[in-house]
Amino acid sequence: MMRIYSLFILLFLWASCGGAGNGNRADRDEAVVEEDPLVIPDFNADSAYYFVDRQVAFGPRVPDTEAHQLAGIWLAERLGGFADTLYTQETRVRAYDGTTLNIKNIIGVFQPEMRRRILLCAHWDSRPYADYDPDPAYHYTPIDGANDGASGVGVLLEIARLVSETQPNVGVDIIFFDAEDYGNHRFSDRPDEDNWALGSQHWARNPHRLDYDARFGILLDMVGASGATFKREAYSMLYAPNVVRKVWDIAHGLGYNHMFPHEDGGFIIDDHYYINMIRNIPTINIIHQDDNTEHGFFPEWHTTGDTMDVIDRYTLRAVGEVVTKVVYSE
């Protein structure tokens, strides 16, 4: 079922009560069609949950592993099935410890002919080490990344499905970035420079279309844990304050005030940082921050506990509804 938000419905009711006086029924029906009411498709949280679960079932999606390769093929198939055009961008990058990684950014383009575009993104890789695990025995064990990675991709696959069925008034690009989470191990002594978000750094310098531009971008990171709260991330406030305002206003309008507080979070180096710095596209990060943990993220962050057990359909639904409404309000 679709939800229809329209001032013109109200006008129609007012007119039917005799307010407009003249005009027959056919005229009024026509007016409703011509004025293009805002039709917002329903975000299905079960579908998003399924997309998260399917990714996690491949195992940790660490570059240069079989699970990563198979998950990448599956994601390209799924996104490609919804998008008008699919690009995969494969390259090699150097990780902080000198390892060469074979990585793949996965890009779905909807309505390529439209000039006004918005960019939605998340990272699809998962971290090679549980370096915040309470048990040191797991500090070099790869993680499932159900929340840290798969949740954002799951929400965006569901939005891809909606956009494929109901055309918004704007072109949409959905990018799944690779190698976001191969950053410096907590106990490494290497310099901590630009070693996160390797896939988005590559894309920002080599976009899938020359001179690619968008009105704004939204990054989703850790958007599936129960009890999540999304404070206003500091780089988002610095580079894209109007986008933060737009998104938080819509969240409040939908009744998700408690999850999108008007509170300032920290500066987080993530994919959106490089999109802002290198491509100059105002891009925000919707990311779960938590003052009650030592690292500032959800309790299972970069631990073996970041499994499907932390994923809550309610959180996926809240974020999904907000981003869907942003897309269809453009």
Chain contacts with ligand AHN (rule: CB under 6 A): 148, 181, 183, 196, 221, 268-270
Which C-beta is closer to ligand AHN: that of 270 or that of 321?
270
Q: With beta carbons less than 8 A apart as the criterion, state whether 162 and 82 touch.
A: no
Look up residue 94 and give its amino acid: R
Of 183 and 265, nearer to ligand AHN (C-beta) is 183
**Helical axes 45-57 vs 313-329, angle rounded to 10°:** 120
Binding range to Zn ion, per CB under 5 A, among 72-80, 174-182, 189-197, 234-242: 174-182
Own/partner pairs for 250-259, CB < 8 Å, 24+ apart?
250/322, 250/325, 250/326, 250/329, 251/318, 251/322, 253/325, 254/318, 254/321, 254/322, 254/325, 256/318, 256/321, 256/322, 258/229, 259/228, 259/229, 259/230, 259/315, 259/318
Closest separation in Å from C-beta 163 to ligand AHN: 25
Residue count, binding to Zn ion (CB under 5 A): 3
Taking the complex as a whole, the smallest distance from the CB of residue 301 to ligand AHN amounts, in Å, to: 7
Judged by beta carbon distances under 5 to 8 A according to partner kind, the member of ligand AHN, Zn ion, none in contact with residue 271 is none
As measured in angstroms, the least distance from the Cβ of 197 to ligand AHN is 7
Task: For residues 248 and 256, give the distance between their C-alpha atoms in angstroms, rounded to a whole number.
Answer: 9
- Partner whose binding site includes residue 269, from ligand AHN, Zn ion, none (CB under 5 to 8 Å by kind): ligand AHN
Tokens of 93: 């990058």
Phi/psi-derived region of residue 193, left when phi > 0, alpha when psi is between -120 and 50, beta in every other case: beta
From the list ligand AHN, Zn ion, none, pick the one residue 268 interacts with, judged by a Cβ distance below 5 to 8 Å according to partner type. ligand AHN
Tell which one of 148, 178, 312, 321 touches Zn ion (CB under 5 A).
148
Instruction: Tell the smallest beta-carbon distance from residue 302 to Zn ion (Å).
Output: 6
Cα separation, 178 vs 200, in Å, equals 7
Task: Pick one of ligand AHN, Zn ion, none as the site partner of residue 300 (Cβ within 5 to 8 A by kind).
Answer: none
- Write the binding mask 88 to 127 for Zn ion: x where contact by CB under 5 A, - elsewhere: ---------------------------------------x
| Distance in Å, CB of 178 to ligand AHN, minimum | 13
SS3 325: helix
Binding partner at 144 among Zn ion, ligand AHN, none, C-beta below 5 to 8 Å by kind: none
**Which tokens belong to 209?**
């279309």
Closest residue to ligand AHN using C-beta atoms: 269
What minimum distance in Å lies between the beta carbon of 266 and ligand AHN? 10
Stretch that binds Zn ion, among 144-152, 166-174, 225-233, 245-253 (CB under 5 A): 144-152
How far apart are alpha carbons 107 and 247 in whole angstroms? 23
324, 326, 329: which is closest to 160 by C-alpha?
324
Site for Zn ion in 244-273 (CB under 5 A): none
Structure tokens at 106: 């996965």
Tokens representing residue 158 in the block: 């569901």
Cα–Cα dist 123/318, whole Å: 19
Q: What are phi and psi of 123, to 5 degrees?
A: -105, 140
Q: Which does 124 bind (CB under 5 to 8 A by kind): Zn ion, ligand AHN, none?
A: none
**Contact flag: residue 181 with Zn ion (CB under 5 A):** yes
Q: Smallest distance, Å, CB 42 to Zn ion?
A: 30
Between residues 14 and 187, which has the closer beta carbon with respect to Zn ion?
Answer: 187
Q: Which residues of the shown chain bind Zn ion in the complex (CB under 5 A)?
A: 127, 148, 181
